Amino acid sequence: MTFMHSTDKESWTRCFMTETLKIALLQMTSGPDIAENLKAAEEMVREAAAQGARFILTPENTCHMRSPQSEKLKSAPVEAGHPAIGRFSSLAQEMGVWLLTGSLSIRLEGEERIANRSYLFDDTGKTVATYDKIHLFDVDLPTGETHRESDLVRPGDAAVVAQSSWGGIGLTICYDLRFPHLYRALAKAGAKILTVPAAFTVPTGQAHWETLLRARAIENGAFVLAPAQTGEHQGGRKTYGHSLAVGPWGEVLADGGDAPGIALAELNLADVDKARQSIPALRHDRPFDLKDSE
C-alpha cells in the first residue's frame, strides 16, 4: 500500500497538540447544479464556524449529484477550473477553520473518467492533502438498485494521512468503509481521526452504516467523522443521511438524523491515547499463514 503524508513544515511550526476540538459534520442533499450546492455548503460552513467549529467536514459529492453518469461526466470541471477549490480555500482562510471538502468530481484531462477526490484545507486556506477514493461502489443490491462507480471514476492508489495540530487525519471516502485494512494502515501511520464522507444508499445505510463506523473506531482506537448526503437526488437516487461522529471507544457523539443540517461534536483527543493504551491491538498484529483444510 502506498502512503502519502502531508509535509507542510510551516503548518507544523504553527501547530501544537491541542487536547480538544469542536467539529461540524455538514449533511447535504446535493442536486445537479454545482453553483447551488456550493452556495448551500458555504452557508453551512459559515454557520458551523459561527458555532465554534474548528474542523468542518462536508459529504461525498459536495459539488453535485447528477444522473445519468454520462451527464455527471460532462458537467464535472477539470481541477484547474473547478469552482469549488478556490471557493473553499478562501472560505477556510476567512473563517480560520480547517475544512474537509468530502469529495468533488474532478474531470480527468485526456480521459472519459473523473476522480472522486477529497480536499483538506488548513486555516490559512492551503491545500494540506488530497485523496482519491480507492474502493469503488460496483454492486447489485437485493432491492434491485444497481451501481457501477467504476464506469465513471478512476480509482485512487494511495492512502493519505494529513498532519494537523490535532494529530494525523486519515482520509477515506464512502465505500472505503467496508475495507478495514485501509483504516488499520491509516491508524498505524499516525491517524487519530479517520474521515468518511459518504453518500450511502438507504438500504445499506439502514443495515450497516452505524455498525461499520463504530467498528472502524473501535478497531483503531480513533475518532471517526462521517458527514453524509441525505434525501432524494436527481434521478430518484436516495441517500441515508445520519452523519456520525464516533469516539475511539465506539460511542456515538453526534448523529445528523435524516434532514440536511449541521451535527456538532466536541472531541477530546486524549481519548485516543486512552483507548489505545487500554487495548493496544494496533501493536499486536502477528504474521500468519492461511492454510486449506485437508
**Active-site residue, from 9, 19, 43, 60:** 60
* Active-site hit among 63, 72, 133, 192: 133
Q: Is the peptide bond before 68 cis (omega within 30 degrees of 0)?
A: yes
Q: Is 15 a catalytic residue?
A: no
Contact 240, 206 (CB under 8 A): yes
pLDDT-based confidence at residue 7 (cuts at 50, 70, 90): low
Other CB atoms within 10 Å distance of the CB of residue 274 = 12
In the predicted structure, residue 1 carries a pLDDT above the cut 80: no
Whether 174 is catalytic is yes
Query: Residue 237 in contact with residue 97, Cβ under 8 Å?
Result: no
Res 110: pLDDT = 87
On the question of pLDDT at 13 being above 70, the answer is: no
Cα(60)–Cα(221) distance, integer angstroms: 24
Mean pLDDT of the chain: 92
Estimate to the nearest angstrom the gap between the alpha carbon of 142 and the chain centroid: 26
pLDDT in tens, 38-84: 999 999 999 999 999 999 999 999 999 888 888 889 899 999 989 99
Q: 292: pLDDT confidence band, cut at 50, 70 and 90?
A: confident
SS3 262: strand
The percent of residues above 70 in pLDDT, for the chain, comes to 95
The average pLDDT across 208-220 equals 98
* 192 assigned to active site: no
The whole-number pLDDT of residue 6 equals 66
Structural domains in the chain, CATH included, are: 2-279 (3.60.110.10)
> Which of 10, 39, 71, 174 is an active site residue?
174
- Cα–Cα distances (Å) from 224 to 5, 187, 238, 287, in that order, read 19, 11, 23, 27
Say whether pLDDT at 35 is over 70: yes
Helix (H, G, I), strand (E, B) or coil at 75: helix
- Calpha distance 43→219 (Å, rounded): 35
C-alpha cell at 219: 478497531
The residue whose grid cell reads 482562510 is: 93
Q: How far is CA 98 from the centre of its chain?
A: 13
According to DSSP, the residues that pair with 162 across neighbouring strands are 169
Give the bridge partners for 116, in sequence order. 105
Residue 125 sits at φ, ψ, to 5 deg, of 90, 0
The confidence score (pLDDT) of residue 144 equals 72
Residue 116, pLDDT > 90, answer yes
Q: What is the pLDDT of residue 146?
A: 74
Alpha-carbon distance of 112 to 70, in angstroms, equals 9
Section 248-254 average pLDDT: 98
pTM of the model: 0.93
